[in-house]
Amino acid sequence: MEKTKRKGAVIFSKYSRGEGIKRLLSISREEVLFELRDSKLKGRGGAGFPTATKWNIVAAAISSQKYIICNADEGEPGTFKDRVLLLEYPELVFDGMVIAGYTIGAKHGIVYLRGEYEYILQSLEDYLAKMRNDNLLGKNILGKEGFDFDISIRLGSGAYVCGEETALIESLEGNRGEARNRPPYPVNTGYMGKPTVVNNVETLASVPHIIVKGGEWFKKYGTDRSTGSKLFSVSGDCGRPGVYELPWGTKISELLDLVGARNTKAVQVGGASGTCIPKSQFDRTLAYEDAATGGSIMIFNESRNMLHVLKNFMEFFVEESCGQCTPCRIGNTKLLEGVEMIEKGEFTFNYINQLKELGRTMQVASKCGLGQSSPNSFISILENFKEEIFNGNGGAHGK
Amino acid sequence: MESKGDLRAPVSQTPLIVEKPKDTSAIGGMVSIEINEKKVAVPLGTTILEACKMNGISIPTLCHHDDLCVAGVCRICVVEVEGMRTLQASCAYPITNPMKIKTSSPMVRRARRHIIDLLLSEHYGECYSCFRNGKCELQNLAKEYGVDSYTFGHVEKPKYEVDKSSYSVVRDMSKCVLCKRCVRTCIDLQEVGVLEAVDRGDNTHIGTFLEKPLADVICINCGQCINRCPTAALRANDPSDEIWAAIDDPTKHVIIQTAPSPRAAIGEEFGLGAGHSMTRELNTALKRIGFDKVFDTNFTADLTIIEEGTELILRLYKALVKKESVALPQFTSCSPGWVKFLEHYYPEYIDNLSSAKSPQQMFGALIKTFYAQRAGIDPANIVSVALMPCSAKKFECNRPEMHDSGYKDVDYGLTTREMARMIKEAGINLPEMPKSNFDNPFGEASGAGLIFGATGGVMEAAIRSVVEFVLGKKTEDIFEKANIIPLRGFEGIKYMEIPIGDKVGPVPELLKHLVPNWDWLKGAVLKIAVAHGTANAKKIMDDIKAGGKFSECHFIEFMACPGGCLGGGGQPIPTTPEIRKKRAEAIYAEDESLELRKSHDNPHVVQIYQEFLTEGPCGHLSHELLHTHYLKRGRYIA
């Protein structure tokens, strides 16, 4: 969709470059935190942790160095909204990072850019150079004494797990991308062992609007527990795929109408690690309290074979598990083998149920979010589409 | 970019390190928690695992090891913490606020069972055809959790080829459970860094640089990874079949030398607790197995002290009197792991290594020359075996330069574990054996040679002799009971100064041809240091490079393994700080029980200088048989 056609009440609302940073000249860190808390902004990466709380912990930490990291390792299958933000609205993301740096007391921000997005690196570097030129970055920003902040961009190397914040930090430090033990959390012991805020691109892009227009304004959109709006990356069987800004609380059916989806059988909300929602539940709402998502919406119409969909997801996780912890490394392989068994018709219901149980173990016993969420689609697709999979054309009858 | 300081292992493998309060009675010093509805209080920062242990609740572990930093990867130790959505790895979770823990809820039991089932599904092989049968931590877990079938299947074909390239360490990655203990041992404990996880997902495995065979990377053969592997993925390169064949061959004269550390630990393989010395029982058992002669490596340890001590005196004499440039401090060279470490990491310092061979290799050269002549045996028919606590000794005896007798000086290095298995295979229960003595012509050795087994032992043995040589006084007059306590214990690096003072003694007969008197040492202060584990060795080496305090030392003992030889890579599994402490106690107790406690008092040593090495220590024949040279390997030549 063309930028000019993009409509949205919050993120795509009017904002002029540097506006949020200028606002900082007249407000204190505490006031920023107040607006942020008032807005009830939650992390847009999917986990939904309150942003103000995260910032507050780092702001309160005593440390010689602190960092703000922008998680631009947009790797969840079916999401591409961060790419749109970085390409077309870099002012929102980078102003958000400057505001974060000012608030938490970090002098250095790092963008961890997905390896496959290397082609937008130059345009981002050019934009940062312009910011430095206009003193929106660098020393004594906009003449404010002691307001020093700069941003560097680092490229990932294609591992999905590096979107997990502690694995991302490991990768930044030059180590193998593997999730850390938690606690400690990055807000205490993050990049280089220093207090660190890791925020999603979209979270940071929401911040300048909140600072300029106020938390009260932000809360007008969305639901009580999911304030503001959300960017959805819509793909699959629909007439108008693309990035949409919709307020939280939008019903799945409303979204489907908007994007021109017909004969929809299922919607995968939240990418490969999300849940698969069948037609009977299309009145559910997109919100943290109902169908939560980091933004990926994949639409499948009646012609799709849900077992193939599931197999595709499981192949993805088998390949993308970092291989560190047992439940995720071997568990995903076993789930994929299970899907293949169903495909061939060589399975027992008893074993498939055991695999579902295994999935529940993976959800609670894996070391990081990857393994904890990878069985979601296995469980939800087998549960919600059992008619099709076990009795229809998706697989032969079980024994 | 800021440095992470001392942190060596990836942070993904270390937990939050909460400093435990010194005074637990202070406010906040103790945290009240509930474990399985029982109220207890634990010091702030205690991990859930420690807290459970302290309260008699057992939690299964696999990737956890007392010697290593925490990984939290196997997930077998998960517990339920009230209010948390996911289970927590108890080994990696420090308690900083009150919490309610359940260690055996349905969710926890299901998770543990699943994890064992998953590990078994990818673990190649059957227990009865595995050398760790009965000593495998995975097997133990399976037993504990009543596994009676392979829920998620079982691999039928090995996924990886067994890497037998190294003389010392065999890697069978098809048995690996990816607990990463070996990685943490190599990177963090030893700071060698040969092993690391490679690839991801289902293809994750422990690999070497560019997947090269172990023999072609800069592995130092210390075998510490073997000692910490929970399964049979890592083992020593076992020569026992060849040794059996030699024993069974009537034309071969099979000799075994036994080092002190295996004797202090082999009882553990026979169900005894750590710290039971089996020296004389072992002599009998070895004879019954069929070894023709059993010699005491301590004899050549005593010889090492004379040769290495003389070398030190010569270096000091050259530096102080002749003003020649010589490499100081002198480093010990008994530990082949340490030698290879130095050759790889600090090749510019190989001149500092004592040219004296290790006791094993000295003995090897003497057996096929001196002993062969005396006994009238063709050295070609002698098979020389060395019972060592060490996997690197296997590499050492295969170094091409170790052929000074005209034959391979030592044919086989055998570890404690392999020896125990041979003894069991022969149907012998070691602890029940009657005691017997070592064979002549080397007979009994001194306690100084014996304590080579513990970190600081070589230095203590050397000092016992040097003090008497130079000061002309009894060691007992300076150190109570000749025990040099500052050199004992498991502190990573030990440092000691010994002032020579104004009174020196006469030069003993043995050294008269080398130095005229000791006057040049008057007023000097002998500075010595001891390090065990290559991580500590690295600290000293970096300090020397930077011109720090250790660069002023005269003599430094280095051992590749934590605890010294008693913690060697060939010793019984498991190894813990507690076990190593007990082995050390056994060694020191045995030393104190002996009459003969100084190397230069060993009558067989005196005799060999009178009858065979007639030019004395560091003389021509000595140099030919008992000394060696080293290789500047650097980071690229394995």
> Per-residue pLDDT tens for B202-225?
899 999 999 999 999 999 999 999
Provide the 10 A C-beta neighbour count for residue B304: 32
Beta carbons of B121 and A334 less than 8 Å apart: yes
A312 touching chain B per CB within 8 A: no
Q: Which of residues 19-78 of B touch A (CB under 8 A)?
A: 70, 72-76, 78
Catalytic residue among B50, B269, B308, B460: B308
pLDDT band at A394 (very low <50, low <70, confident <90, very high): very low
pLDDT given at position B22: 78
Which of A105, A103, A106, A63 has its CA nearest to residue A194?
A63
Q: Are B62 and B137 in contact (CB under 8 A)?
A: yes
Looking at the predicted structure, is the pLDDT value of residue B8 above 60?
A: no
Q: Identify the structural domains of chain B with CATH numbers, from first to last.
A: 11-104 (3.10.20.740), 116-236 (3.30.70.20), 242-299+360-432 (3.40.50.1780), 327-356+445-626 (3.40.950.10)
Question: Which tens digits make up the pLDDT trace of B48-104?
Answer: 999 999 999 999 999 999 999 899 999 999 999 999 999 999 999 999 999 999 999
The catalytic residue among B174, B261, B335, B354 is B354
pLDDT value at B14 more than 70:
no
How buried is residue A172: exposed, middle or buried, by Cβ count under 10 Å (0-12/13-18/19+)?
buried
Q: Active-site residue B157, yes or no?
A: no
Q: Which chain B residues are Cβ-neighbours of A372 within 8 angstroms?
A: 86
Average pLDDT of chain B, as a whole number: 94
Query: Torsions phi, psi of B388, nearest 5?
Result: -130, 155
Sign of the Cα torsion B223, B388, B582, B584 reads: negative
Task: Look at residue B636 in the predicted model and tell me its pLDDT.
Answer: 75
- Chain B interface includes A265 (CB < 8 A): no
Peptide bond before B389: cis, by omega within 30 degrees of 0?
A: no
| pLDDT exceeds cutoff 70 at A171 | yes
Q: pLDDT tens digit string along A145-158?
A: 999 999 999 999 99
Say what the pLDDT of residue B164 is: 97
Percent of chain B with pLDDT over 70: 97
Query: What are chain A's domains?
Result: 3-219 (3.40.50.11540), 229-301 (3.10.20.600), 306-391 (1.20.1440.230)
Which residues are CB-contacts of A397 (< 8 A; sequence separation ≥ 6)? A345, A390, A391
Chain A residues touching residue B121 (CB < 8 angstroms) = 330, 334
Residue A399 pLDDT grade (very low, low, confident, very high; cuts 50, 70, 90): very low
A60-72 pLDDT tens trace:
999 999 999 999 9
Task: From B275, B277, B268, B279, select the one nearest B583 (Cα to Cα).
Answer: B275
Nearest CA to B564 out of B531, B599, B523, B613 is that of: B531
| Measured CA distances, B379 to B131, B270, B366, B384, B402 (Å) | 34, 34, 10, 10, 15
pLDDT at B385 over 70: yes
Question: How high is the pLDDT of residue A47?
Answer: 85
Please check the confidence at residue A6 and state whether its pLDDT lies above 80.
no
B624 touches chain A (CB under 8 A): no
Residues of chain A numbered 167-226 and touching chain B (CB < 8 Å): 167, 169-170, 173, 175-176, 178-181, 183-184, 188-189, 192-194
Q: Is B401 a catalytic residue?
A: yes
ipTM value:
0.93
pLDDT value for B444: 86
The helix or strand, by DSSP H or E, that contains position B397, with its residue range, turns out to be helix B392-397
**Beta carbons of A365 and B119 less than 8 Å apart:** no
Higher-scoring residue by pLDDT: B314, A6: B314
pLDDT at B637: 67
Dmax over CA atoms of chain A, in Å, equals: 75
For residue B285, the model assigns a pLDDT of 98
Residue of B130, B179, B186, B565 marked catalytic: B565
Active-site option among B74, B91, B179, B334: B334
Q: Are B575 and B584 in contact (CB under 8 A)?
A: no
Question: Per residue in B589-617, pLDDT tens?
Answer: 999 999 999 999 999 999 999 999 999 99
Residues of B in contact with A170 (CB under 8 A): 10-12
Q: What is the pLDDT, as a whole number, of residue B23?
A: 79
Residue A3: pLDDT above 60?
A: no
Tens of pLDDT, residues B306-327: 999 999 999 999 999 999 999 9
pLDDT range class, residue B2, cuts 50, 70, 90: very low
